[in-house]
Structure 1
Amino acid sequence: MLRSIHDSLEPKLVTLFRRQGYSRSDFIADAVAGLAVAIVALPLAMAIAIASNLPPERGLFTAIVAGFLISAHGGSRYQIGGPTAAFIVTVAMVAMKHGYEGLVLATIMAGAILIIMAFLRAGELIKFIPYPVIVGFTSGIALLIAFSQIRDFFGLKITTVPPDFIDKLSIYVAHLHETNFTAVLLALISIGVIYIAKHRFPRIPGPIIVVTLSAFAVWGFNLPVETIESRFGSIPSMLPSPVWPEITFERLRFLLPDAITIATLAAIESLLSAVVADGMTGTRHKSNAELLGQGVANIASGIFGGLPATGAIARTATNIKAGARTPVAGMMHAIWLFLFMLLLAPLIIKVPLAALAAILMVVAWNMSEIKHIKEIMHSPRTDRIVLIVTFLLTVLVDLNFAIQAGIALASILFIDQMMKATQIRPITSEENDPDSTSNKTIPHGVEVYEIQGPLFFGVAEKLVDTLMLFEKPPQVFILRMRYVPLIDAAGLHSLEILHERLSHYNTRLILSGVNAQVYQFIRSSRIDEKIGRENIVDHIDKAIFRAGEIMGKKI
């Protein structure tokens, strides 16, 4: 048991080094791939921090510290970690409600929750989140990200942007007359450059072209647009010293809901990214080790003045396409970013905010799941309902609530489908299977009904209501359960109630075709003692024979 837990939590880096070693050519390939990813990550890290209403260096600190640790301790061979656009809304709201120090503590708490999830081996449970829920909240986040960039995209002079969608809409409308058309033109050109680079020069990251050319354009033509320097001043060229936030029971209790939101989002996003990487490379990630790495990284990110971190799908894909071989590529990407910050800090601050807004607009479009939304809209009605409800709750209410409500709604609709799929019906002469009762001699006064599907709380009441179908209660009621794969507490209780009500009419209950697992639960709950163990059989022939015995005794 302990060995199994150890194996599931062992970092992928350690597993690979132990099994196949590490050569000089591997390091060169990883270093080159890491450089390519760092070039993509540099503008994104700053843009995500700014979109979260925080200084750009917070994004860089996160990409360096968390990016290194996620690769070193995680369970994916190619995962690249750091700040992601999916966190923008949550981070902005937590920072606004509790201040940056509150965000740091929530991030550290989220890291601890992720580590607990890893030791509880919860990595496999993430796959049970319904697909429409994932698409719904991902597309909702994409809309919120795009909406959060309108201020810088249009160059609006708004000091503080509220986190709520409706409040944002109101303040944007109120300031729309302040539109800076130079900023709009710069942002539109930036989107065009990214699009052209992607299709004409796929090996050159579009975002780095945008930040470079836009910075030179602002400097060379003295364009009247805001830059990182004009809003935030200079940025540090070194990592800050680690600092623990003030921890009290009251603050922990107050921040717990936000920490759970961050941990949930980090777990889902990182494991989705790992799955995407597996699909691109044919490898397999270790989900629990990935959660452990995410937990360690988020704790360290908070201590070093960063933001919540998770796996980044676009950067992970870039890492794979750049020829990465091991998690060292992700560690090298963090080292390259540190060198960029150390050497290029005076140049980085010249980047215009409109260009960063354009980059995030493209990120939001790529996150929007338009293709998958179209697919789900052609799926069953229940999936469409879950998608739409999750999307609307994400945009208008809260991400955490949206996930909870989406899962709850999907579960309820699934139960409803299972209830409709599970049939409790009399046996008809139309059946043609070898054990059909149409080929059996059923004594007069015996009714045979069959359950097809699991006997759980959703259909338990339906079973009891079967008695209402009889004009005159039979002397023996045979309930065939050959197609009942499982039973829960409500199902067991319904059998007990069915037996009691039949006994009231002097009707004997016989259970036929009970499989071993279902019978074990019936025995554990001692219902077999009430029904009579001789009245629980594994085949319809035995049930009919037993009914004959009962009828004979009554005669």
Structure 2
Amino acid sequence: MKWTGRYKNYNVQSFRKDLISGCIVGIVAIPLGMAFSIASGVKPEFGLYTTIIAGILISLCGGSKFQIGGPTGAFIPILLAIVMQYGYKNLLIAGFLAGIFLVLMGLLRLGALIKFIPRPVTIGFTAGIAVTIFSGQIGNFLGLRGVERHEYFFENMKEIVLRLPSINMYSILTACICFAALLLTPKYLPKVPGSLVGIIFSTLAALWLFPGKVTTIGSAYGDIPAGLPHLEMLPLTWDNIVPMVQPALIIALLGSIESLLSAVVADGMTGSRHDSNRELIGQGIANIITPLFGGIPATGAIARTATNIKSGAVSPMSGIMHGLVVLLIVVLFAPYASTIPLASMAPILMMVAWNMSERKAFAHMLKTRTGDSLVLLVTFLLTVFTTLTTAVEIGLVLAAVLFVKRMSELLTVDKVLPDPSSSNEKVKAHMVTEDHDCPQVAIFTVDGPLFFGASQTFERNFHEQIGDGRHLHVVLIRMGKVPFMDTTGEANFSGLVKKLQSSDVTVIVSGLRPQPRKLLKKTGCYNLIGEEHFFEHTGVALNYALGKIESQKCQGCRHFAFRECSKLCGAESERHAISDLAGPLVREGKVTF
């Protein structure tokens, strides 16, 4: 996407629309940035820094006109796990490395490959992340004291149960006020961010009605400093980098999926078209620079992007303005944010989890009771009970295995003969019967990709239908419906050819498509069969095959598999002789045909 295309016909009116949408999205992003940061196990200001820096850079360098970038709920489980296992400084290194991986993915033009990740996997881990986010806020909602964060779901649930005696009714009341605002604001004030209204009302209620009774951001994490932190280089030593490579790859994979899904949603809402590779590069640049200012990993935010579009945005300037608005608010009002109760943040994150859970798609796919249902359920359960890394890896492997199984089931090998009743005497499988099958010529139609997953099916079907093939003189293999062949499929095909040729059977092929032809030439199988034995059309190939049979073996044959059989077996002259003898009897009414 060229810069001129991003700002084509841009004017003062366009800037006014971008300014308004940027202000609205910026206000929405502030409570979310702090909430996501706290849920990820780091101080709230780091989420604000990410919203500012990554938000501006993603809009400047990305491939979507309307994308809003920043911290998102999808990152919470993986970031929390990294913080707990390696610490905050190493999280910054992981984010930096993830940015490099994203840039490389964009430069290698891998943006289009993200769409090949199976939908059951994405829905499964998204729903699993939603459960993790929701359950992680139960402690703050109830105001439990002394709750320690653990990496795994069971341990966190056990911790909550153990801390239930410390439940704080003031925290529950604060959370309920915020929750009520989240539900009522869209209904009565649809243009006002519900999260902002919820935080303001619940914070004021806590300050005026029961001051000092609930845990706040300031009491838990210290005061939020105004402005941006200073640029600080990361300790990029070999010992620090190596352990962070795998977490960085997961961050990059998840970030690429989230950002491109968000860009697709934006395209659907606006009729525009994003540049997926440029989007990955923009995301990468943002994640390389943001950690230098203490920010956590960022990606495209679907909800904020949709809000940006609904608010009238016309260009990436709205995303830049959203970052500047957050910066201005942080500089002017950061100290006041320290008084926000953690119980006010809990309903916001719970609502985010509910909205991102893909519950309808999850239930629909589960009801199908197919292999996809299994992939969905396994990915979901592993995301909740183990780690996102394990869930994605096993989910992808399981999806690949099921895909191979399905593709192998698509391959069919049918023995066929011409059907005189059809137009152009097309060959069909139902024409082959015990009493209607040529003893010397066998015709097979191969339908489907001939690859490693289907090679056994191919070999077994041929063996069942022709055995060792010693009774045959010619085997015609119709390959027009084989779009792809890999080296395993070629090995099985070559083995069949060699086996038939060892029994003095001539192998001819019709309709061979470009990719299998190219592979057969590379492996030498093409020369093994002989160029003169390849034909474009089955009719020409069949004429050649009938010319190779032994006519004396046709004498007395009553299969009549082909229209030429009457002449080859001498049945034509025999039929005339019977007709001459039976003529007088027919005229006398003694014989009826």
Q: 1:303/1:248 Cα in 2 relative to 1: closer, same or farther (>3 Å)?
A: same
Aligned residue for 1:414? 403
Aligned residue for 2:522? 524
Question: CA RMSD of the aligned region, Å?
Answer: 2.0
Aligned residue for 2:446? 451
1:111-164: per-residue Cα shift (whole Å, max 9, x none)?
000000000011111111111111111111100111111111111112531121
**Separation in 2 of the partners of 1:168 and 1:226?**
20
Aligned residue for 1:535? 533
Query: What letter is aligned with 2:120?
Result: P
Give me the TM-score of the superposition, normalised by structure 1.
Answer: 0.94
Specify every segment of 5 or more residues in structure 1 that has no aligned partner in the other structure, as ranges: 1-6
Query: What letter is aligned with 1:487?
Result: M
Aligned residue for 1:436? 426
> Are 1:298 and 2:287 counterparts?
yes
Q: Give the superposition deviation at 1:404.
A: 2.3
Q: Give the superposition deviation at 1:175.
A: 1.1
| Contact 2:174/2:205 (<8 A) preserved | no
> Are 1:256 and 2:252 counterparts?
no
Aligned residue for 1:99? 87
| Contact 1:502/1:509 (<8 A) preserved | yes
Q: Give the superposition deviation at 1:542.
A: 2.4
Within a 5 Å distance, the mapping from 1:364-375 to structure 2 comes to 364-375=353-364
Q: 1:305/1:433 Cα in 2 relative to 1: closer, same or farther (>3 Å)?
A: farther
Q: Give the superposition deviation at 1:552.
A: 4.4
Q: Give the superposition deviation at 1:443.
A: 5.2
**Separation in 2 of the partners of 1:550 and 1:463?**
26
Q: Give the superposition deviation at 1:422.
A: 1.6
| Contact 1:515/1:538 (<8 A) preserved | no
Q: Bigger shift: 249-258 or 378-387? A: 378-387
**Separation in 1 of the partners of 2:533 and 2:512?**
11
Aligned residue for 1:502? 500
Q: What secondary structure does 1:478 align onto? A: strand
> Are 1:84 and 2:80 counterparts?
no
Aligned residue for 1:313? 302
Query: What letter is aligned with 2:186?
Result: K
Q: Bigger shift: 71-80 or 529-538? A: 529-538
Greater length-normalized contact order (CA 8 Å, ≥ 6 residues apart): 1
| Contact 1:61/1:304 (<8 A) preserved | yes
**Separation in 2 of the partners of 1:314 and 1:443?**
67
Query: What letter is aligned with 2:546?
Result: G
Q: 1:381/1:432 Cα in 2 relative to 1: closer, same or farther (>3 Å)?
A: farther
| Contact 2:479/2:511 (<8 A) preserved | yes
**Separation in 2 of the partners of 1:97 and 1:509?**
63
**Separation in 2 of the partners of 1:433 and 1:100?**
73
Q: Bigger shift: 321-330 or 153-162? A: 153-162
| Contact 1:79/1:311 (<8 A) preserved | yes
1:204-243: per-residue Cα shift (whole Å, max 9, x none)?
1100001111111111113411111111121110111111
1:452-499: per-residue Cα shift (whole Å, max 9, x none)?
111121111222222243356223222111211222222211111111
| Contact 1:151/1:158 (<8 A) preserved | no
| Contact 2:449/2:482 (<8 A) preserved | yes
| Contact 1:455/1:487 (<8 A) preserved | yes
Within a 5 Å distance, the mapping from 1:305-384 to structure 2 comes to 305-379=294-368, 381-384=370-373
Q: Give the superposition deviation at 1:384.
A: 0.9
- Which of 193, 205, 211 matches 1:217? 205
Total equivalences in the alignment: 543
Q: Give the superposition deviation at 1:297.
A: 0.4
Q: Indicate the percent of aligned positions where both proteins have the same amino acid.
A: 38
**Separation in 2 of the partners of 1:27 and 1:145?**
37
Q: What secondary structure does 1:551 align onto? A: coil
Specify every segment of 5 or more residues in structure 2 that has no aligned partner in the other structure, as ranges: 554-593
> Are 1:242 and 2:231 counterparts?
yes
1:486-536: per-residue Cα shift (whole Å, max 9, x none)?
222222111111112223333232222212343222222221111222222
Q: 1:309/1:554 Cα in 2 relative to 1: closer, same or farther (>3 Å)?
A: farther
Query: What letter is aligned with 1:449?
Result: F
Q: What secondary structure does 2:59 align onto? A: helix
Q: Give the superposition deviation at 1:179.
A: 1.4
Query: What letter is aligned with 2:135?
Result: F
Query: What letter is aligned with 2:200?
Result: T
Within a 5 Å distance, the mapping from 1:394-405 to structure 2 comes to 394-405=383-394
Q: Give the superposition deviation at 1:289.
A: 0.9
- Which of 2, 6, 15 matches 1:27? 15
| Contact 2:26/2:325 (<8 A) preserved | yes
**Separation in 1 of the partners of 2:427 and 2:24?**
70
- Which of 269, 278, 281 matches 1:280? 269
Q: What secondary structure does 2:424 align onto? A: coil
**Separation in 2 of the partners of 1:242 and 1:308?**
16
Q: Give the superposition deviation at 1:450.
A: 1.1
Q: 1:501/1:212 Cα in 2 relative to 1: closer, same or farther (>3 Å)?
A: same
**Separation in 2 of the partners of 1:437 and 1:221?**
86
Q: Bigger shift: 452-461 or 39-48? A: 452-461
Aligned residue for 1:544? 542
Query: What letter is aligned with 1:507?
Result: V
Aligned residue for 2:186? 198
Q: Give the superposition deviation at 1:63.
A: 0.3
Q: Give the superposition deviation at 1:52.
A: 1.1
> Are 1:461 and 2:456 counterparts?
yes
Q: 1:201/1:433 Cα in 2 relative to 1: closer, same or farther (>3 Å)?
A: farther
Q: 1:472/1:346 Cα in 2 relative to 1: closer, same or farther (>3 Å)?
A: closer
